[in-house]
Chain A
Amino acid sequence: MTSTSTLSRRGTGGIGPVAISAVVVAGICVLPLLVILATATESGLGVAAQQVFRPRVGELLGNTVSLVLVTTTACVVVGVGAAWLVERTELPAARWWRLALVAPLAVPAFVNAYAWVSLRPSLTGLGGAALITTLSYTPFVFLPVAALLRGLDSRWEDSARSLGLGAWGTFAKIVLPQVRPALLGGALLVALHLLAEFGVLAMLRFPTFTTAILDQYEAAFDTTAGSVLATVLMVLTALVLTGERFARGRVSLARIGSGVRVQPQRVPLGRWAGPAIVGLTTWVLLSLGVPLYAVGHWLGAGGTPILSPALLGALSSTVGLALTAGVLTTVAAFPVALLLHRRRTLLTESIERITYFASSLPGVVVALALVTVAIRWIGPLYQTPFLLVIAYAILFIPRAMVSIRAALAQAPGGLLEAARSLGDSPWRATRRVLLPLIAPGLLSGFAMVFLATCVELTATLLLAPTGTTTLATGFWAASDSLDYGVAAPYALMMILVSAPLTWLLLSNSTKDTR
């Protein structure tokens, strides 16, 4: 038995099944982008331009941009400050603060908005939107920055001090440059979430592109006008991604040399301990206490049984969808992650960029594109769970990829080759050696996607088949009609579902820096 391949390039492997699957996955991921562009420009560029250059679009642009600027800045300031307090000072009970500062991730932003609005209906506009999104999204900055600060090798700081730099100088010249990639990564995540946010902003009546696209679609089922707005939103997404890439620059943070990592000394807080604790406590009360109190309050006031048949129905369809999406997304992410791990060529780089960009698009864009595809070209797909699951897969494939790639990177090199030299075919070697080794990564990727799907609102609103209610859409229907008591059990359920995610993220970030 000999296997010959004339297609293979220089180096190992060739255009095998892995590369083909990866290209197919990337193709599906990029589909929404192409569909939106095609729909937006189908009546000609002139018409599209007319639809873009309107006062209404200007207003949406102003709202979207100012919200992104205000909230991202606030998240960075609070996130970095809190991370420094927790990881580098003698703050008492640092582990508990770490948990309390990450925990708001368990409360979906639109549940947080519901909590605030139900207690304080006057909360609207940019101020309210910025307050609630900052409370909800600060963990995106806190988590990576804290992980980095915790893992930072203090030998660099020691060397800087010994070279005559003061404490502040060391922070500015040594610590900050190293924190920058984590900080920018967190800020990017906040900005992308803001561009995609629908629930919070609809509830606070603060229109952005995302809410406008949904309004347009629900009012008129007009996918062309929606596509024009979605194109502008895609441009904004591309700008945010490019900006982050540009700001990140070419910093190399590889640890040079081996040796044991030295745990940094913690800074004594002295008389600042009191203000620091008061500040952090206030933050935790606002970001975690308020939503928990509100949900508890409405659960008690609602008078409805917590486990109603409607809720159980929503729970079971949510779990069904999330299981399917989790499996499908993990299976789709595997060949892409494997290809990227194996070698870096123009093809793999393009696949990485394409899936990354496509998955950074707001849920509303992806959903609108799939609706368009179903309505115009593949009628039978319209209003099917299949289409919804595809949308979840496109949106959440990076979450699975991150886990799988981390697991692949951890697997020692040369194992597949060793298995090949012992007589295994490529597929058999993958099954016997690679899959058992990266199983935890696959599982954690699956869990990430599963949990994200459970609380997805925007794409689900657009794509869920009539009669299918998920936890998020059930909650939305109730709170939209100001039925806060009915919404409360759904909110509780989503918080309970998200709690393991929070734990998973926290333990992943602690593991990385061990």
Chain B
Amino acid sequence: MSELKAEGIVAGHGATTVLHGVDLTVPAGSTTAILGPSGCGKTTLLRVIAGFHRPDAGRVVVADRDVFGAGLNIAPEHRGLGYVAQEGALFPHLSVADNITFGLRRGDPGRATRLTELLDLVGLPREVAGRSPDQLSGGQQQRVALARALARRPRVVLLDEPFSSLDAGLRASTRRAVADALAAEGVTVLMVTHDQDEALSFADQIVVMDAGRILQAGSPLDVYTAPADRVTAGFLGDLVTVVGRAHDGRVESALGTHATDSAAEGAVEVALRPEQIVLHSADQPGIRTGAFGTVRHCDYFGHDALVHVALDDGSEIAARLGAGGQVPRTGERVTASVTGSVLTYPL
């Protein structure tokens, strides 16, 4: 059963069309992330669903109720959706408590209980209730924004780049707290992001979008390991590509012969993740498999390192080394071999 459905959404700003017939289904209880580069239309799609942007065509269904379609355009306040904007959009003239209870009716006797419930839910101490939003850190503001959106118990919550304004340290902990709160409330979540790590770690369904179209939808593992095309593969992480020749489920390239699931035949582009490449020092006796190359330079990140290697046939590749591995020096001779299956795309 789907909690949220968009069909054939066409939308734009003035004369430019931003969404070219987008179809999206968010299963009940799932967390779906729309992943795409800036300007791909993902925020517009979210705003269409929320009711802030009127599409030119299409249909939007929330919890089995049509909210937009032919001759129908339900106002945002009647769509029963929670919405967390980029940077929270907290009302600066209201306290944290007034922000959170903004959507609850003034006479509602359950207001006070719901407030403490929500503060606990998003992991904020109860003392912050009386503070004004500008006295909170970015991460706390984001939690208040989420509590505010959940106050009316919506069945679906929309998150627009909710963590992009936070610095790296705060991002992981805020993301965890938000994910826990959403899971505890049991709501269906649709998030928009341009950060593939965020999408992969936060969501159980990933929808990849580019230039106003959806390229692929599936589980994080599926879209990471079996991207539908070259562009999608590039969004989801670093990609190493070399030219090769495919025949009958096997592909030959400078890196050797590998198994492939793709059906392409003939000249192909072979794509794989840097962590699939294993490097050995060429001086090491006994190693004669794989392709020879020279280390160009090394990006060292602490927890891992990306080693850029020029193969002897002229191809450029990159290999990811774990923290334990010895980082090779620039100019060192190495051999590169591949683990796992690779992706091939017709050239």
Write the residues of chain A forming the contact surface with B, with a CB cutoff of 8 angstroms: 1-6, 8-12, 14, 412-415, 417-426, 432-433, 436-437
A412 and B13 in contact (CB under 8 A), knowing A8-B54, A420-B77?
no
- Tell me if B92 and A421 are in contact (CB < 8 A): no
B72 touches which of A2, A11, A415, A425 (Cβ 8 Å): A2
Residue of B nearest to A433 (CB): B91
Nearest 10 CB-CB pairs, A to B?
A422-B103, A421-B83, A414-B89, A420-B76, A414-B85, A418-B89, A3-B75, A423-B77, A2-B74, A436-B93
> For residue A418, which residues in chain B have a CB less than 8 angstroms away from its CB?
83, 85, 89-91, 145, 148
15 CB contacts below 8 A, A to B, read A6-B71, A10-B13, A11-B14, A412-B89, A414-B85, A418-B148, A419-B91, A420-B77, A421-B81, A422-B77, A422-B103, A423-B103, A423-B152, A424-B77, A432-B102
> For residue B11, which residues in chain A have a CB less than 8 angstroms away from its CB?
10
- Tell me if A5 and B86 are in contact (CB < 8 A): no
CB distance from B114 to the nearest CB of A (A): 13
> For residue A9, which residues in chain B have a CB less than 8 angstroms away from its CB?
54
| Residue B303 at the chain A interface, CB threshold 8 Å | no
Write the residues of chain B forming the contact surface with A, with a CB cutoff of 8 angstroms: 11-14, 50-54, 56, 71-78, 81-83, 85-87, 89-93, 102-103, 145, 148-149, 151-152
Residue of B nearest to A425 (CB): B77
CB distance from A426 to the nearest CB of B (A): 8
CB distance from B55 to the nearest CB of A (A): 9
Residue of B nearest to A439 (CB): B93
CB distance from B289 to the nearest CB of A (A): 50
- Tell me if A11 and B83 are in contact (CB < 8 A): no
Q: How far is the CA of A420 from the CA of B74 in the complex (A)?
A: 12
> For residue B151, which residues in chain A have a CB less than 8 angstroms away from its CB?
422
Q: How far is the CA of A204 from the CA of B167 in the complex (A)?
A: 66
Q: How far is the CA of A437 from the CA of B152 in the complex (A)?
A: 24
- Tell me if B73 and A417 are in contact (CB < 8 A): no
CB distance from A432 to the nearest CB of B (A): 8
A417 touches which of B71, B72, B89, B148 (Cβ 8 Å): B89
A4 and B103 in contact (CB under 8 A), knowing A412-B92, A414-B85?
no
- Tell me if B89 and A415 are in contact (CB < 8 A): yes
> For residue B90, which residues in chain A have a CB less than 8 angstroms away from its CB?
418
> For residue B14, which residues in chain A have a CB less than 8 angstroms away from its CB?
10-11
> For residue B53, which residues in chain A have a CB less than 8 angstroms away from its CB?
11-12
A414 touches which of B13, B76, B86 (Cβ 8 Å): B86
Q: How far is the CA of A338 from the CA of B263 in the complex (A)?
A: 57
Residue of A nearest to B82 (CB): A421
Residue of A nearest to B157 (CB): A421
- Tell me if B83 and A4 are in contact (CB < 8 A): no
Q: How far is the CA of A422 from the CA of B118 in the complex (A)?
A: 15
> For residue B78, which residues in chain A have a CB less than 8 angstroms away from its CB?
1-3
CB distance from A408 to the nearest CB of B (A): 14
- Tell me if A421 and B93 are in contact (CB < 8 A): no
CB distance from A152 to the nearest CB of B (A): 27
- Tell me if B75 and A425 are in contact (CB < 8 A): yes
CB distance from B210 to the nearest CB of A (A): 22
Most buried by B among A4, A420, A436: A420
CB distance from B145 to the nearest CB of A (A): 8
Q: How far is the CA of A420 from the CA of B13 in the complex (A)?
A: 21
> For residue B12, which residues in chain A have a CB less than 8 angstroms away from its CB?
10
A5 touches which of B73, B77, B102 (Cβ 8 Å): B73
CB distance from B139 to the nearest CB of A (A): 18
> For residue B13, which residues in chain A have a CB less than 8 angstroms away from its CB?
10-11
Most buried by B among A3, A14, A422, A424: A422
Q: How far is the CA of A413 from the CA of B91 in the complex (A)?
A: 10
- Tell me if B54 and A11 are in contact (CB < 8 A): yes
Residue of A nearest to B44 (CB): A11
* New A-B contacts (4) at CB < 8 Å, excluding given A11-B53, A414-B89: A10-B12, A421-B76, A421-B149, A422-B151
B91 touches which of A5, A14, A415 (Cβ 8 Å): A415
> For residue B76, which residues in chain A have a CB less than 8 angstroms away from its CB?
417, 420-421
> For residue B73, which residues in chain A have a CB less than 8 angstroms away from its CB?
3-5, 8
Q: How far is the CA of A426 from the CA of B52 in the complex (A)?
A: 11
Q: How far is the CA of A141 from the CA of B71 in the complex (A)?
A: 55
Q: How far is the CA of A235 from the CA of B148 in the complex (A)?
A: 55
> For residue B149, which residues in chain A have a CB less than 8 angstroms away from its CB?
421-422
B54 touches which of A10, A412, A422 (Cβ 8 Å): A10
> For residue B52, which residues in chain A have a CB less than 8 angstroms away from its CB?
12, 417, 420
